[in-house]
Structures are given as structure tokens and as C-alpha cells.
């Protein structure tokens, strides 16, 4: 009996010595910088979990990449105007959700943006505005209404020749959601998937506090708006303050309105809070295109979604349930 009590005591001591600590790995995925943080008992344990997440996100990259000619996405693009392509249910469902986001944003978000002729350049090389005709032509093949889904066959057909889809504004968010769910299912109590600024968290820090996310102020990159606690949710910021071109005093940013072919104007940064990174990612891009009035209005209608918008004059606008000082 005394022996049993002693063993029990030793086990208790050993478990209490195994403190839960955050471990972080930085790596390149989907052409971007990712940071994966997991709370674990040891480096070894953390490494095993992080390897799982990396494998999973690499798998997703292979499925959705439009750069990789062997991906199912590239097959869909290659067969545009020719025939439907059968795909994994996972890709089918992602496309279906992307079309859903096009509907709630009146087409501001559109994965067929990839069919656009690239007539805008944001590297300083443009000397004059493209003609209205060239702009109109550049989006002639864009339109989510031309994605034909066959639920029974799990096939996807782009019904115009030359049409393409791309997941640039939603893929990182989707991958972050899948990685997070996988790690949660493996019993990882807490962590952060940071997909080049798309933050997706679960659980709490080992000290019991919620994870904090710094929201940067695009007008002054050294000054954050502040740290906001996020519990089991995602925060995504869209906005590349370097990529824009100015004509006649109007600043055109690198996100283009798929309905008109004109780059978005007026906003320099949009941050979206949502339960899932995928939706946050897509909506942050959409807000640029919708503009601040429509953008705020739309976000205020969506449950559990909030946003912070900074316009080109440095003015900050927030959705109804967000207060920042
Ligand atoms: P980033 O990932 O560069 O921070 P975003 O999440 O805003 O920025 O995504 C921008 C990317 O989304 C573009 O580089 C392009 O691949 C894609 N994209 C651009 N405009 C649209 C649009 N209207 N709808 C869907 N995707 C878009
Ligand atoms: Mg986005």
C-alpha cells in the first residue's frame, strides 16, 4: 500500500513538472510565411503535432494550387469551355462555399477573378490608365455564375473558354482552418496557425489568458491599434500598403473589382474577425472591393463577424460590436 502511494506521488510529481509551453515553427507554405504555434509538454511532442499540420496544409496546397499543373484546380482551368472535371469532394465543397461568398458580397468576391487579363501593374511601371474598353474586356471572362457544379458527379465546369479559378483570397484561410481542426482532434489544447497574417487560434495561453493578436495600423506600421484577445476564432487583415498606383489623384489598390475591372479605391486595410479563417480571409478581400459603406453594412448583417476598416485618409471604421480606443 505504501509503495502504491509512493508511485502515485511520483506520477503526480512528474506530470506537474511537464509544464505546458507554446512551441513555434516558422516555415514557407503556399508561397507565404506561416507560423505554427502549439502548446505542448515538450519540443518533441510539439514537433510531431506541427509536422501533422504542415503535411495537411501541403496536401491542401497540392489540391488547390493553380500554379501546379497537376492539381485538380489546374485541370478544371485547362478544361474550361471543353468539359466538366471530376474532383475530390473537398475541392468541390470549397468551390461551393466560394460561390456562396460571391452571393453574399454581390460578386465582389469571385474566384474566377483569375480569368482577368492583367492590364494593371502595381510595381510602378504603369504610366497611364488603361482605356475603358481595355478595362471592360479584361473582365469579360470573369463571373462566378459561369461555374457549373454537378453535385451528383462531383464535377466542376467553367463554361467559357479561357476561364480560370484561383484561391488567392481564401486558400490560406481554408488551410489554416483544416490544420486547426486536425490539431484539435489530436488533442492539442491550444495553438495559433498564422498564415502570413491570417491568424487562427484555439484554446488559451498556458497562463490561462486568451491569445492576443496585434492589429497593426497601416498608417504607422510601428504602432499597433492594440492587442485584441481572440478566443477560438480567426482574425485576417487584407491590405498591401505598397501595392497601388495613382492616376488623377486617385489611389488604385491591387485588389480589382471583378465586376468592373477597376481596382478598389478608398480603403487601405481591412481586418475581419470570424469564427473561421476561410470566411474572414474572403471577406477581408471583399471589403476592399465593396468599399467602406457597403462593406460595413454587409459585415453588420452577418452573425459573429466583425471588422475594422482603415480608409486612405487614415480614418478608422468599425462594425457595430467592436470598440477600439
Ligand atoms: P493577401 O493574401 O495578399 O494578404 P488577400 O487575402 O486580400 O491578400 O488576397 C488577395 C488575392 O486574392 C489576390 O492576390 C488575388 O489572388 C485574389 N483576388 C484578388 N481580387 C479578388 C476578388 N475580387 N475575389 C477573389 N479573389 C481575389
Ligand atoms: Mg483574403
Q: Nearest ligand to the C-alpha of residue 286?
A: 1
Interval 107-146: pLDDT, tens:
999 999 999 988 888 888 888 899 999 999 999 999 999 9
pTM above 0.85, yes or no: yes
The beta strand positions in the chain, using DSSP E, are 21-29, 32-40, 85-86, 147-150, 155-158, 191-195, 198-202, 211-217, 220-230, 234-238, 244-247, 250-256, 263-265, 267-274, 306-311, 316-318
Superfamily of chain region 72-158: ApbE-like superfamily (1.10.3980.10)
Residue 46 has pLDDT above 80, yes or no: yes
Give the number of the atom of ligand 1 that is nearest the alpha carbon of residue 282: 6
Model pLDDT, residue 228: 81
Q: How far is the centre of ligand 1, averaged over its atoms, from the C-alpha of 285 (Å)?
A: 6
Interval 149-182: pLDDT, tens:
999 999 999 999 999 999 999 999 999 999 999 9
- pLDDT top residue among 4 and 231: 231
The SS3 of residue 233 is coil
Q: Domain 2-63+171-324 falls in which CATH fold?
A: T-fold (3.10.520)
Q: Using alpha carbons only, what angle is made at residue 262 by residues 256 and 263, rounded to the nearest 5 degrees? A: 45
Our mutation pick for probing the ligand 1 site, out of 169, 197, 254, 256, counting the most ligand atoms within 8 A of Cβ, is 169
Residue 16 has pLDDT above 50, yes or no: no
- Where do you find CATH 3.10.520.10 in the chain? 2-63+171-324
The protein residue with its alpha carbon nearest to ligand 1, atom 15, reads: 168
Going by pLDDT thresholds of 50, 70 and 90, the confidence category of residue 7 is low
Going by pLDDT thresholds of 50, 70 and 90, the confidence category of residue 43 is very high
Q: Is 110 in the pocket of ligand 1 (CB under 6 A)?
A: yes
pLDDT above 70 covers a percentage of the chain that reads: 91
Q: Is 281 in the pocket of ligand 1 (CB under 6 A)?
A: yes
Instruction: Using DSSP bridges, classify how beta strands 211-217 and 220-230 pair: parallel, antiparallel or unpaired.
Output: antiparallel
Q: Is 113 in the pocket of ligand 1 (CB under 6 A)?
A: yes
- Where do you find CATH 1.10.3980.10 in the chain? 72-158
Give the number of the atom of ligand 1 that is nearest the alpha carbon of residue 281: 6
Would you tell me how many other CB atoms lie within 10 Å of the CB of residue 290?
A: 24
Whether 25 and 36 have beta carbons less than 8 Å apart is answered as yes
Give the number of the atom of ligand 1 that is nearest the alpha carbon of residue 285: 7
Give the number of the atom of ligand 1 that is nearest the alpha carbon of residue 238: 7
Our mutation pick for probing the ligand 1 site, out of 168, 196, 218, 239, counting the most ligand atoms within 8 A of Cβ, is 168
Going by pLDDT thresholds of 50, 70 and 90, the confidence category of residue 250 is confident
Q: Nearest ligand to the C-alpha of residue 269?
A: 1
Q: How far apart are CA 255 and CA 251, in angstroms?
A: 12
Model pLDDT, residue 287: 97
Q: Is 169 in the pocket of ligand 1 (CB under 6 A)?
A: yes
Residue 241 has pLDDT above 80, yes or no: no
Give the number of the atom of ligand 1 that is nearest the alpha carbon of residue 284: 7
Q: How far apart are CA 111 and CA 99, in angstroms?
A: 8
Residue 8 has pLDDT above 70, yes or no: no
- 3-20: b (≥16 Cβ within 10 Å) or e: eeeeeeeeeeeeeeeeee
Q: Is 66 in the pocket of ligand 1 (CB under 6 A)?
A: no
CA dihedral 77, 80, 86, 91 (to 10 degrees): 40
Q: How far apart are CA 21 and CA 42, in angstroms?
A: 8
Give kind and range of the element (H or E) at residue 99.
helix 89-104
Among candidates 261, 321, 320, 300, which has minimal Cα distance to 104? Answer: 300
Going by pLDDT thresholds of 50, 70 and 90, the confidence category of residue 18 is low
Q: Using alpha carbons only, what angle is made at residue 186 by residues 229 and 168, rounded to the nearest 5 degrees? A: 60
Model pLDDT, residue 6: 57
Please, what is the average pLDDT of the chain? 90
The protein residue with its alpha carbon nearest to ligand 1, atom 27, reads: 169
Model pLDDT, residue 193: 96
Going by pLDDT thresholds of 50, 70 and 90, the confidence category of residue 13 is very low
Q: How far is the centre of ligand 1, averaged over its atoms, from the C-alpha of 59 (Å)?
A: 21
Residue 208 has pLDDT above 60, yes or no: yes
Residue 257 has pLDDT above 90, yes or no: yes
Residue 27 has pLDDT above 80, yes or no: yes
- pLDDT top residue among 88 and 11: 88
Interval 47-69: pLDDT, tens:
999 999 999 999 999 999 999 99
Residue 106 has pLDDT above 90, yes or no: yes
Q: Using alpha carbons only, what angle is made at residue 225 by residues 221 and 213, rounded to the nearest 5 degrees? A: 95
Amino acid at each position: 500500500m505504501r509503495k502504491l502511494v509512493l508511485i502515485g506521488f511520483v506520477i503526480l510529481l512528474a506530470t506537474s513538472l511537464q509544464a505546458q509551453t507554446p512551441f513555434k515553427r516558422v516555415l514557407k507554405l503556399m508561397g507565404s510565411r506561416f507560423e505554427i504555434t502549439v502548446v505542448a509538454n515538450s519540443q518533441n511532442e510539439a514537433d510531431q503535432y506541427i509536422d501533422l499540420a504542415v503535411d495537411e496544409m501541403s496536401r491542401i496546397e497540392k489540391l488547390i494550387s493553380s500554379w501546379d499543373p497537376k492539381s485538380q484546380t489546374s485541370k478544371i482551368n485547362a478544361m474550361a469551355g471543353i468539359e466538366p472535371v471530376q474532383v475530390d469532394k473537398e475541392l468541390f465543397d470549397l468551390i461551393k462555399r466560394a460561390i456562396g461568398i460571391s452571393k453574399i458580397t454581390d460578386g465582389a468576391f469571385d474566384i474566377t477573378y483569375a480569368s482577368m487579363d492583367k492590364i494593371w501593374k502595381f510595381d510602378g511601371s504603369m504610366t497611364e490608365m488603361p482605356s475603358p474598353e481595355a478595362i471592360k474586356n479584361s473582365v469579360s471572362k470573369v463571373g462566378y455564375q459561369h461555374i457549373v457544379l454537378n453535385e451528383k458527379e462531383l464535377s466542376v465546369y467553367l463554361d467559357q473558354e479561357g476561364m480560370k479559378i484561383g484561391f488567392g483570397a481564401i486558400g490560406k484561410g481554408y488551410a489554416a482552418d483544416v490544420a486547426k481542426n486536425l490539431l484539435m482532434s489530436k488533442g492539442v489544447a491550444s495553438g495559433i496557425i498564422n498564415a502570413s497574417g491570417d491568424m487562427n487560434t484555439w484554446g488559451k495561453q498556458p497562463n490561462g489568458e486568451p491569445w492576443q493578436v496585434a492589429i497593426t495600423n497601416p498608417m504607422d506600421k510601428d504602432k499597433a491599434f492594440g492587442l485584441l484577445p481572440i478566443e477560438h476564432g480567426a482574425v485576417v487583415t487584407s491590405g498591401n500598403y505598397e501595392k497601388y498606383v495613382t492616376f488623377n489623384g486617385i489611389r488604385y489598390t491591387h485588389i480589382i473589382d471583378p465586376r468592373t475591372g477597376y481596382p478598389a479605391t478608398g480603403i487601405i486595410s481591412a481586418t475581419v474577425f470570424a469564427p473561421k479563417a476561410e470566411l474572414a480571409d474572403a471577406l477581408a478581400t471583399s471589403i476592399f472591393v465593396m468599399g467602406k459603406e457597403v462593406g460595413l453594412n454587409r459585415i453588420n448583417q452577418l452573425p459573429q463577424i466583425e471588422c475594422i476598416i482603415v480608409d486612405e485618409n487614415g480614418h478608422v471604421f468599425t462594425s457595430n460590436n467592436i470598440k477600439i480606443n
